[in-house]
Chain A
Amino acid sequence: MPADPSPAIATRGLTKRFRSGQVAVDGIDLMVPRGCVYGFLGPNGSGKTTTIRMLLGLVSATEGEHELLGESMPAHAASVLPRVGALVEGPAFHPYLSGRANLMRLDAGDRSVAAAGAGRRVDEALERVGLAAAAGKRYRNYSLGMRQRLGLAGALLRPRDLLVLDEPTNGLDPQGTREVRTLVRELGAEGSTVFLSSHLLSEIEQVSTHVGVMSHGRLVFQGTLTALRQAAGVRVRVETTRPDEAAAVMRALGTGTTAVHATSGVTSSVVADLSDGDGTPVDTAQLVEQLVKAGVPVHEVVVERPDLEDLFVELTGEGFDVDQ
């Protein structure tokens, strides 16, 4: 891979305010390093698709600027977009054309490739997504999974430096989902940067190296998956009959937010972050030792590792109200 220092995607204060006054994307600063698989995560309606549309120049930004592969957009769309494969908001093709004819049409629009290789490029892309057998079938007769695959094939018509895939596993059965996951890993291994959006954490977690989390139009987290895991924070819960003394001991050891919860029965629980955010985490063995030394009866010590799902909900909010 060439050591190009420019990031695959960089945005500064990218904002989209619709004419209605609604702010769909609110000053986000995306930073997608080359060669990573970037999971762009957020609930439906959090601004992911609008962001992707802005990145690709389909929707103009109200404020802010962005670059793809080191070239500013949308000014350099003609030179940079051929190096970007995209699947935006699900597949869309002409229903009465075959899958193959639909891809031929997209290839015909691409000025960066020679006409001569069109058939080969299309067949290879269809082969890659496992659609070769259904290539001659009309798109309208495709199942949802086949349509999604055709969309992916469109993004893979030629080698790409960057792939922007918006919810690529939508509508796929578990088998198809797994195939897409494998495909994304392969593309990443080949050196392409993959920018993958999803509202499903589990999907992002399995393939991504980097994560950005959107909520209500804002980028509420961005970093490596490891950093996200750390941000999730490990907590310790101590069941004791003397909670206030226990809390004092724990604070003295440098735990983060420490709170006492009354529980039914004899004991109360003291819950604390094992790290206060910038120090090394408190060693649980030491914690127990100190509690015992201080004469605090310890009934139970549990180390809780919240899964990313909880953190995701915490970051993006939960409930049934639709994000505006």
Chain B
Amino acid sequence: MRSQPLRLFRSELRLVFGRRRNQALLAVLSTAPILIGIAVRVSSPGGDGEGPAFLGQITQNGLFLAFTALTVTLPFFLPLSVAVVSGEAIAGEASSGTLRNLLVVPVDRTRLLLVKYASIVVFGLAAALVVWGVGLIVGLLLFPHGAVTLLSGTTVSFANALGRALLVALYVAAMLAGVGAIGAFFSTLTEVPMGAMAATAVLTIISEIVGAVPQVRVIWPYLFTTPWLAFGDLLRSPVPLHAMAIGLLTEGVYIALFLLLAWARLTTKDISS
């Protein structure tokens, strides 16, 4: 019958986005660009050279607030919210006992995993777009806009810059999809959603800590968090694609690996909850 696979997916999206806690996560994320915007607006315009990337550019063009907000939330708040939603995915159904109901409907275990993962990816995209979108709106309200001077010094039209900004949000969403795959895997290991969420968040933070220790520089290329901030390249002209391509590849490998592990675990697991 037509559109059957999408029915469960839609139901899953309703579950994820209908949940108060997840709505609260998105609301908290949206405060980041608002706070940064207000802080920059009320402070003196001469504070360049310190703070997160692009902070100095905000006063020249509001569009940069969207980039700054993504840069600020990407190391912690964004992966944390994806960890919450992905850790919940299977473990949440297991802890409430609803997993057994779905499986006897029957929902094939592979299909369930794919639907769950797809909705995690959508949530990650939504989270990135919320930060980006609110940053854009607040930025345009509080700061000047118009043609944008890129990091490389070239000036592009506002529409061009807007397109680049959207690509940044998509790149961030792809990075979050890596966190989501890890979370989905942890979620198949336990019936305690909090455990899976915490494990995912902790793994992300450990990866970031390791990524900040120069003595272990040799393993940096293998960390899933290393390529996250490569989206800054989108603000150069011409765009250097190398770092971002590596980033997408790294994330792709992590996604494939952890989804495979999750699949192997879920399809052989005894559902005793």
List A residues at the B interface (Cβ < 8 Å).
53, 56-60, 77-78, 81-82, 84, 86, 88-90, 92-97, 104-106, 108-111, 113-115, 154
B residues near A59, Cβ cutoff 8 Å: 270-272
* A92/B105 contact (C-beta < 8 A), A60-B270, A108-B7 known: no
Contact between chains at A96 and B19 (CB < 8 Å): yes
Q: Give Cα A89 to B96, complex, Å.
A: 12
B residues near A84, Cβ cutoff 8 Å: 104
Contact between chains at B98 and A94 (CB < 8 Å): yes
Stretch at the interface among B8-16, B215-223, B225-233, B234-242: B8-16
List B residues at the A interface (Cβ < 8 Å).
1-5, 7-8, 10-11, 15, 18-20, 96-98, 100-108, 268, 270-272
Contact between chains at A93 and B98 (CB < 8 Å): yes
Contact between chains at B101 and A154 (CB < 8 Å): yes
Which residue in B3, B19, B102, B268 is a CB contact (below 8 Å) of A115? B3
**Nearest CB of B to A215, in Å:** 21
Contact between chains at B107 and A109 (CB < 8 Å): yes
B residues near A109, Cβ cutoff 8 Å: 7-8, 11, 102, 105-107
Minimum CB distance partner of A79 in chain B:
B106
CB pairs A–B below 8 angstroms (25 shown): A53-B100, A53-B270, A57-B103, A59-B270, A59-B271, A77-B108, A78-B106, A82-B105, A89-B100, A92-B96, A92-B98, A92-B101, A93-B98, A94-B98, A95-B96, A97-B15, A106-B105, A108-B7, A108-B11, A109-B11, A109-B105, A109-B107, A111-B1, A111-B5, A115-B7
* A56/B104 contact (C-beta < 8 A), A94-B15, A96-B19, A105-B11 known: yes
**Nearest CB of A to B17, in Å:** 13
Q: Give Cα A106 to B97, complex, Å.
A: 13
Contact between chains at B104 and A93 (CB < 8 Å): no
Q: Give Cα A89 to B271, complex, Å.
A: 12
Which residue in B2, B15, B268 is a CB contact (below 8 Å) of A105? B15
Which residue in B1, B10, B15, B270 is a CB contact (below 8 Å) of A114? B1
A residues near B101, Cβ cutoff 8 Å: 88, 92-93, 106, 154
Minimum CB distance partner of B20 in chain A:
A96
Contact between chains at A115 and B105 (CB < 8 Å): no
**Nearest CB of A to B108, in Å:** 6
Q: Give Cα A38 to B47, complex, Å.
A: 79
A residues near B1, Cβ cutoff 8 Å: 111, 113-115
Contact between chains at A108 and B10 (CB < 8 Å): yes
**Nearest CB of B to A304, in Å:** 43
A residues near B108, Cβ cutoff 8 Å: 77-78
Contact between chains at B106 and A82 (CB < 8 Å): yes
Q: Give Cα A97 to B20, complex, Å.
A: 11
Contact between chains at A58 and B100 (CB < 8 Å): yes
**Nearest CB of B to A158, in Å:** 10
Q: Give Cα A127 to B5, complex, Å.
A: 27
**Nearest CB of B to A196, in Å:** 16
Q: Which of A57, A82, A105, A115 has the most CB of B within 10 A?
A: A105
